[in-house]
Chains A and B, each alone.
Chain A
Amino acid sequence: MIEIRDLHKYFGDLHVLKGIDLDVQKGEVLSIIGASGSGKSTLLYCINALEPIQKGRVVVDGTDVHAKGTDINRLRQKLGMVFQQWNSFPHLTALENVALAPRIVKGKPKAEARDIASEQLRRVGLSDKINVYPSALSGGQQQRLAIARALAMEPEYMLFDEATSALDPELVGEVLDTMRLLAEEGMTMICVTHEMGFARDVSDRIAYFHQGVMEEIGPPQQLFGNPHSENTRKFLAKVR
């Protein structure tokens, strides 16, 4: 379970997150929507401590993420992350991309790491691209590679940061399908997304972020059908 309490984040003088309170249960799929600059991506970076926070707490399965003594590298193994810019490692083949972290972070033997990697590549439908370098993959394939790379660490939570925003429209579908598959398997997911259809179909809850504040959170039917907040209503009117 992820518990976020009164989280504040500044970039210099800029107050990006203004006191976020949020719980994510095991097995839940949460989508976060909102305009760019609303702080939704930053929230993800604060959950796995890629960004430091200035006030508040993030607790993952009882461990305070930003506390001094926390072994953050160990904790991050629980929290898989997929980025907007897919960030595949260009100097490694698809298989090596996925096998690297299991080998050097978890210390798995080489052969086992390769087995894990090819299993995860199969799962995202890239079995035929095992020995290909990322430069020869399409954006959608690279993003699925990034998902496989995160899954190979056997995370308990997956954080998706606008995983489809940088993709050509015709490649969005294959990535969303992969994410949908994960959700059906019961993975706990937090997805920052602009894909309203995906958010409606897959999420258990949807949160709307507005200028660093979580304006509203609720099940898709409620948020889309009957938003309480005026800002949410305006935003939804614009994106649909």
Chain B
Amino acid sequence: MFNYNFQWRPVWRSLPDLFEASLVTLQVAALAIVLGILVGLVLALVRMNMRGPARWIATAWVELARNTPVLFQLFFFGFGLGAFGWHLTPFTIVLVGLTFNSAGYLAENFRGGFNAIPDTQLRAARSLGMTAWQAYTRVVIPQVFRLVYHPITNQMVWAVLMSSLGMLVGFRELSGETQFLASRSYRIFEYFAVTAVIYFVIVKIILLVSRLLAMRLFRY
């Protein structure tokens, strides 16, 4: 036992590369969450207010996103669409996959949020002469946003963790970069151990920032 010779030096030398790759991870995750929020909001509103094909599509999106593995979704956007001659770049595969997934989960959170705001809030706003758009954007959605703030934070953490699957579709985010460097030096364990620590730190930073932001955003 432990006759393995740990060699950390190559990893230390690669730290700048790993940090750079961490930024790629953060970028793709943040972008996916921003898009996921917008799409998820639309999906939730469509599911609550519309009938017919639009509603079926929204429901199918939400259920597929929630009931199949993320890796499956990435493969689908990566290889499955190849059958139609669509070939996405690794970055796009991960971005589209994570957006698809996050939007599905966030849509359900939004739906719960909207249901938690009493109808009477909308009525009160409309009675003041606000248009439906004004009542939604100024009165209802700000309140929903507070209710879904923690789910969004969790989803952001998830997006960071899920983006690690990029290494399986050839995307050089943190995990992909780690795999690349590790396979070059054969120091697989050392590289992935350091990367695990980096992920842990990223997650903690996200949670901390989210908490600080919440203190500024929600005074009521």
Real complex partners, A and B? Answer: yes
Which residues of A approach B to under 8 Å, CB–CB? 48, 50, 73-77, 79-81, 83, 85, 87, 89-92, 100-101, 104-105, 133-135, 146, 149-150, 153
Convert B111-150 into 0s and 1s, putting 1 for each residue whose CB lies closer than 8 angstroms to a CB of A.
0000000101101111111110010001100110010000
Q: Is B216 close to A, CB under 8 A?
A: no
Nearest CB of B to A83, in Å: 6
A149 and B123: CB pair below 8 A?
Answer: no
A105 and B134: CB pair below 8 A?
Answer: yes
Q: How far is the CA of A135 from the CA of B146 in the complex (A)?
A: 15
Interface size on B, residues (CB 8 A): 20
Known: A73-B130, A76-B129, A104-B138. A91 touches B220 (CB 8 A): yes
B121 and A87: CB pair below 8 A?
Answer: yes
Nearest CB of B to A50, in Å: 6
A104 and B134: CB pair below 8 A?
Answer: yes
Determine chain B's interface SS by DSSP, over half rule: helix
A76 and B127: CB pair below 8 A?
Answer: yes
- Our pick among B126, B131, B220 for the contact of A50 (Cβ within 8 Å) is B126
A149 cross-chain contacts in B, Cβ below 8 A: 128
Sample of 15 A–B contacts (CB below 8 Å): A50-B126, A50-B127, A76-B129, A77-B128, A80-B127, A83-B120, A87-B118, A87-B121, A87-B124, A90-B143, A90-B220, A104-B130, A105-B130, A150-B128, A153-B129
B128 and A83: CB pair below 8 A?
Answer: no
Q: Is B219 close to A, CB under 8 A?
A: yes
Q: How far is the CA of A208 from the CA of B142 in the complex (A)?
A: 41
B142 cross-chain contacts in A, Cβ below 8 A: 91
Q: How far is the CA of A150 from the CA of B142 in the complex (A)?
A: 21
Known: A89-B139, A91-B142. A101 touches B220 (CB 8 A): no
Q: How far is the CA of A91 from the CA of B217 in the complex (A)?
A: 10
A91 and B120: CB pair below 8 A?
Answer: no
Nearest B residue to A105 via CB reads B129
Task: List the 9 shortest-distance A-B pairs measured between CB atoms, nearest first.
Answer: A87-B124, A133-B220, A101-B128, A81-B127, A77-B129, A76-B129, A105-B129, A73-B129, A91-B142
Q: How far is the CA of A77 from the CA of B138 in the complex (A)?
A: 17
Identify the interface centre among A73, A76, A92: most chain B CB within 10 Å of its CB. A73
Q: Which of B78-111 contact A (CB under 8 A)?
A: none
Identify the interface centre among A74, A75, A77, A134: most chain B CB within 10 Å of its CB. A77
Given contacts A77-B128, A81-B124, 20 further A-B contacts (CB under 8 A): A48-B127, A50-B123, A76-B126, A76-B128, A77-B129, A81-B127, A83-B120, A83-B123, A83-B124, A85-B120, A87-B120, A87-B121, A87-B124, A89-B143, A90-B143, A91-B220, A146-B124, A150-B127, A150-B128, A153-B129
Nearest A residue to B124 via CB reads A87
Nearest A residue to B143 via CB reads A91
Identify the interface centre among B120, B128, B134: most chain A CB within 10 Å of its CB. B128
Nearest CB of B to A204, in Å: 24
Q: How far is the CA of A73 from the CA of B131 in the complex (A)?
A: 6
Q: How far is the CA of A69 from the CA of B114 in the complex (A)?
A: 30
A48 cross-chain contacts in B, Cβ below 8 A: 127
A133 and B124: CB pair below 8 A?
Answer: no
